[in-house]
Structure 1
Amino acid sequence: MTPDLGDLRARLDAAMERRGAWPDRSPWLRPAMAALPRDRFAPDVLWRWDGTGYVPIHRDTDPDGWAGELFADQDAAAVTQVTAGLPSSSLSAPAVVADMLDSLLIDPGHQVWDVGTGQGWSAALAAWRAGPGRVVSTELDEDLADFARARLRAAGVRATVVAANATSAQPPGGDQVDRIHATYAVETVPFGWVEATRPGGRIVYPWGRLGHVALTVAADGRSASGWVQGLGMFMADRSAPAPRAASGWSGYAAVRGTDEPETERTVARDLLPLSENWDLKFGLRVAVPRAQVVTGTGQWGTCAWIHDGDRSWAALSAQHDGTALLHQGGPRRLGDRLLAAWDQWNELGRPSRYDYGITVTRTEQWAWLQDAEAGPRWPITPPLAAPAGQ
């Protein structure tokens, strides 16, 4: 039996309404998503994690599974491409797309550069608001660019898609734009994006592994600054150098290897907030940017495994008496740094993710808390790349 996509769209719309995910300041988003539903931009094969790897779900042979994957949840991305066993493209979660496009503050007539076309859905939505011919989109993968062009044409959307590396290129046509909307995660913003945006224009992008940011370009065009807008995890920049180690547990295992701990001590710390408190997670992500934290439940409570993608690692294991045992190794005492950053976050009043912002100049980038000029700040550095030949 063919699934009723109209019914699934209506259920998603209602779920967004119940959750308050339709932005009040951008009422155009709800009719735009109704006119240009996500399923019209989905390929006929999606990918689902089965616990050991990604398996394909074909629309023609498993239409219910395909639709179920696409409409699973307003917060769920749908994986549309897998390369070397890992996701390399996706249709972003509807709630996150709405949040980011709301942050972009598009008005009719704006010239928009959509960075990372994917399947073309975000470009289509931006064009619905900005107007025909006002959106140009760049996509590194030529096959994806072709796919997006076909879907945009089928939807009657006039938007230009160009196969190019937006991390190093200027927007096609060479003119400055009013808005840049990036759909893949970058740790440091290419300054070319600032130069490509008119003074007063906005750049909305996913920052690294957690959260998205809206920058406003200064009147002199020499910098851009703005606040964190919300949480969201996106595909990484495929043109960036390959990371030294994978994320998650496999990355920790690769970094630690068979090394024995170099230090061991007991700490009086309940580790549960590392798993559940997203504001804490964001604060640690700012203060210890290369620390990747994986949490799980052990015999006595929450445990954490930490690595920096290079040579440093730490393990925090819950004990029966409410303390935690810290083991660590490598040139950086990563566990000590994370615990110190946690203490600092407490001393700063346990700020939320929305209390942070980012400033970008030609020569440096930093995150700041509460005040771009006078608040505490932390430098942002590019991620470590794998040595040549790896």
Structure 2
Amino acid sequence: MRARRCATGRLIIEDGQHATGRFIAVDPAFMMARQQEAPTNLGMLPADDDGKTRETPHGPGVLRMPDSGFVAQLAMPNSRTFDMAGDDGRMRTYVLDAANESFAVLSRDGDGWSVREGGRVSLWGEVEQSLALWHAAGSPAATRFGISVEPDRQRIWLENAEDGPSWRLPVIPGS
């Protein structure tokens, strides 16, 4: 599995229950960020005929770049990704989300990419939507993102906490 990028932020505790701040940087090196609790297993790999296949403008490279990888992780915070050769010998990138029982499998399709998705959530659709919001904002660096933390929710936002695009993150009870 690929390691996740590490984001560094500075939070100000407002009243003992709420904290808000901005990201200072996203480390471009592959480092382990504090993971959400790992699922007991990642589930079964999807069979070659599971899910629906479509073209996608984004290949797995968006997961590996510092800024786009940060934005992609926001769209699918419970997911794990890895590369593996299929029965035909071609490399595929698997995105598995055991929490949502969903998957996406990216494959080279001529000069472009295709994605095969299945489950309760369109994982790669969420990534595409997140990247579209980010591109529409001018592809800003991580330092333009902020974070709000409350006892029952965590949220990453772009530019403005009140009305900017935002992404909810999982909350680990008791942490």
Same fold? TM cut 0.5: yes
CA deviations on 1:334-375 (whole Å, 9 max, x unpaired) are 222222222222222212122111111233321111223332
Verify the 8 A CA contact 1:288 1:341 in the aligned structure 2: no
Counterpart of 2:102 (choices 305, 312, 315) is: 312
Q: Is the 8 A contact 2:75 2:130 kept in 1?
A: yes
- Structure 1 position 234, deviation (Å): 4.2
How many residues of Structure 1 are paired with residues of Structure 2 in the alignment?
Answer: 162
- How far apart, in 2, do the equivalents of 1:374 and 1:329 lie? 31
Q: CA offset at residue 293 of structure 1? A: 3.2
Which residues in structure 2 correspond to 1:102-251 (within 5 Å)? Answer: 210-218=6-14, 220-230=15-25, 231=27, 232-234=31-33, 236=35, 242-245=38-41, 251=42
**% same residue:** 24
- TM-superposed CA distance for 1:262, in Å, is 2.2
The residue that corresponds to 1:273 in the other structure is 61
Change (3 A) 1:274 1:294: farther
Aligned residue number for residue 13 of structure 1: none
**Which of 153, 157, 172 pairs up with 1:364?**
153
Aligned AA (1:214): R
Deviation at 1:376, TM superposition (A): 2.0
- Is the radius of gyration larger for structure 1 or structure 2? 1
1:277 positional shift: 1.8
Structure 1 residues 349, 235: closer, same or farther in 2, change over 3 A? closer
Give the CA deviation at 1:263. Answer: 0.8
- Using the alignment, how far apart are the partners of 1:278 and 1:359 within structure 2? 22
CA contact (8 A) 1:290 1:308 kept: yes
**C-alpha contact 2:22 2:143 (8 A) present in aligned 1:** yes
CA contact (8 A) 1:271 1:303 kept: no
SS in 1 for 2:149: strand
What are the residue-to-residue correspondences of 1:72-91 with 2, within 5 Å? none
| Larger proportion of strand | 2
Give the letter for the 2:67 counterpart: D
C-alpha deviation, 1:285, in angstroms: 1.4
Q: Are the structure 2 counterparts of residues 348 and 294 from structure 1 closer, same or farther at C-alpha, using a change threshold of 3 Å?
A: farther
How big is the shift at 1:275?
Answer: 4.7
Conserved? CA contact 1:275–1:295, under 8 Å:
no
Structure 2 runs not aligned, ≥5 long: none
Superposed, which structure 2 residues align to 1:282-297 within 5 Å? 282-294=70-82
Paired residue type of 1:362: P
Q: With structure 1 as the length reference, what TM-score do the two structures score?
A: 0.36
Structure 1 contact 312–331 (Cα < 8 Å) conserved: yes
- Which residue identity is paired with 1:243? P
Q: Which runs of 5+ in 1 are unaligned?
A: 1-207, 246-250, 384-390
Q: Which has the higher contact order (CA 8 A, sep 6+)?
A: 2
1:236 and 1:295 mapped to 2: Cα distance? 19
Conserved 8 A contact 1:211-1:233: no
Distance in 2 separating the partners of 1:365 and 1:270: 27
Instruction: Give the letter aligned to residue 312 of structure 1.
Output: S
Structure 1 residue 306, shift from structure 2 partner:
0.9
Q: Higher helix share goes to which structure?
A: 1
Structure 1 residues 221 and 276: alpha-carbon distance in aligned structure 2, compared to 1, 3 A threshold: closer
